[in-house]
Structure 1
Amino acid sequence: MKIKIFCFGKLDKKFFLEAFNDYAKRISKFAALEIIELKEEFVGENNKNSEINSNHLFDKLEKIRDFEIVVLDVKSKQVSSEQFAEIIDNNKNYKSGKMAFIVGPSDGYSQKFLSKYSQKISLGSVTLPHQLFRVILAEQIYRGLKIINNEKYHK
């Protein structure tokens, strides 16, 4: 299985980087993980920022058409860890075994971007810093893989 995470910015806090790398190492026992870090553009107006950054995402995602795209959006349907694992398992078993999780820019996605992708989920309704969210996403991917493989993991 191949998993890509598209996100804006870099992990520059040591504790976030260490936590993320720990989960990335754990994930590597189940899947090949690749992180694609994008530079976020800020030109002033929020709508313009989201449009520019969403277009940048479009360009990147066009190159991986054979991947299942999962857009992480705080306004979308919240999923439990079990439901998240099911999304991964469905891809692994019934689709290409290739997934891309998209963590949007700080000003959100454009409407055009959101309308293009049907698989949109939320891991919760709270707003989190991007760096912390990347750690949480990695943890949930790892947890999902453990659930799929019927392996024990702390609760």
Structure 2
Amino acid sequence: MNVNVVCIGKIKDKYIIEGINEFSKRMQAFGKLKIIELKEDGNDTNREISIQKESEEIIKTLEKNKGYNVLLDIGGKNFSSEEMASKIEELGVRGTSTINFIIGGSYGVSQELRKVADLRLSFSKMTFPHQLMRLILMEQIYRWFSILKNIKYHK
């Protein structure tokens, strides 16, 4: 299965980059993983303009990388790791070859992007730093695939 992580902005902290690289390397055993970093708008004076521009860029990227779109959204549905692994397995059985995991900008995403999402996924009601959320997502993606392949990572 092809997995794309579509996100806004670049990671700056070395320890987070190292963690992301480690899980990217581990994922090679399960399929193709690609991280697609899109430019942060950076318009601090008008958040709505930033949200709109960043969301439009994400939507354009999703149109090029057709697949099942999972938007990380605090208002989304909660899954256990096992439930999400089952969801990924179900998608594979249905013939889905690509899953796009989407992390919007720090100000959020537009309603248009929410409508494009096939699934809105919440990790928690808590707020996490944007860069750290990418690392958490990468770890969970690896965990979901290790559950499916019955690898002893998940206990």
Shared fold (TM-score, shorter chain, > 0.5): yes
2:102 matches 1:114: no
Counting only pairs closer than 5 Å after superposition, residues 72-151 of structure 1 correspond to structure 2 as 72-151=72-151
Shift of 1:126: 1.3
Separation in 2, partners of 1:54, 1:147 = 32
Deviations 1:61-81 (A, max 9, x none): 11122x111111111111111
Shift of 1:52: 1.3
Separation in 1, partners of 2:140, 2:75 = 18
- Give unmatched runs, 5+ long, in structure 1: none
2:38 matches 1:12: no
Separation in 2, partners of 1:133, 1:141 = 12
Separation in 1, partners of 2:65, 2:75 = 25
Counting only pairs closer than 5 Å after superposition, residues 24-35 of structure 1 correspond to structure 2 as 24-35=24-35
Give the aligned partner of residue 63 of structure 2.
Answer: 62
Deviations 1:32-90 (A, max 9, x none): 1000001110322222211111111111111122x111111111111111122122212
Shift of 1:107: 0.8
Shift of 1:93: 2.2
Shift of 1:154: 4.5
Is the 1:23–1:138 Cα contact (8 Å) retained in structure 2?
Answer: yes
Separation in 1, partners of 2:102, 2:72 = 6
Is the 2:51–2:108 Cα contact (8 Å) retained in structure 1?
Answer: yes
- Give unmatched runs, 5+ long, in structure 2: none
Structure 1 consecutive aligned stretches of length 4 or more whose deviation exceeds 6 Å: none
Give the TM-score, by structure 1 length.
0.93
Is the 1:91–1:98 Cα contact (8 Å) retained in structure 2?
Answer: no
**Aligned-residue CA RMSD in angstroms?**
1.3
**One-letter amino acid of the structure 2 residue matched with residue 102 of structure 1:** I
**One-letter amino acid of the structure 1 residue matched with residue 77 of structure 2:** K
Separation in 1, partners of 2:142, 2:117 = 24
Shift of 1:148: 0.7
